[in-house]
Amino acid sequence: MSRTALVTGGTRGIGAAISIALKEAGYAVAANYAGNDAAAERFSAETGIRTFRWSVADYDACVEGIAAVEEALGPVEVLVNNAGITRDAPFHRMSREQWQQVIGTNLTGVFNMTHPLWPGMRERRFGRVIVISSINGQKGQFGQVNYAASKAGDLGFVRALALEGARVGITANAVCPGYIATDMVMAVPEKIRESIIAQIPAGRLGTPEEVARCVTFLASDDAAFINGATLSVNGAQFPG
């Protein structure tokens, strides 16, 4: 029987690539999404991956959503915390709402998803918790104090969680993508995109599939001794 993997923000961009890669690796995959029904329906029709809608910023919704996934596919043994948002602004103009929205999804959302699954992982003595952080959580970025703080917090989360899970067969690791050729990045004006690429020693954007392959490895039995680690996928832009 295949293991069940749950990917938050799993129907678009990097999340979609992760969902597809895990399915191809033999996992039963559930893809969570927050609100774009049309994109989720299209993704499910194209891939055969079941989708489930709820906001990771809402703890009770996470509990209910996880229960629905487990009823449909079985106990979740691999959790990929990928869902994230941006609300960029220079700090002197950043509103309290912009701060709270980003922290609520990108950091508290990781707690909201992992916490309900933790007892089952401990009881089964197996689990994989993978958090998609960001290069900007490692080095910071102008106009992203909220985002950088949330993504840096994700790194602390996995490092501490790894210490608690190691003795019961659970790993917790982070993947920090650099600039990836998602729809959002490709929609940036060409001149700005060229300036971004100029900062990447590899001379190109990464692909969602390159990030997804890292996640698939960390979810596998081959990665059982990798715990509390941060895997940087950024073309040498930041040696973190």
Query: Which residues belong to the active site?
Result: 147
DSSP 206: B
Give, in order, the Cα–Cα distances in Å from 25 to each of 35, 66, 160, 174, 220.
27, 22, 28, 20, 9
At residue 171's C-alpha, the angle toward residues 14 and 157, to 5°, is 70
Beta-strand relationship, 50-53 and 76-81:
unpaired
Query: What is the H or E stretch that residue 221 is in?
Result: none
Q: Are 86 and 144 in contact (CB under 8 A)?
A: yes
Q: What is the DSSP string of 89-136?
A: --GGG--HHHHHHHHHHHTHHHHHHHHHHHHHHHHHT-EEEEEE--HH
Gap between the Cα atoms of 141 and 33, Å rounded: 26
List all residues 6 or more positions away from 195 whose beta carbon is below 8 Å from its beta carbon: none
CA atoms within 13 A on the CB side of 57: 12
From the centroid of its chain, how far is CA 106? 9
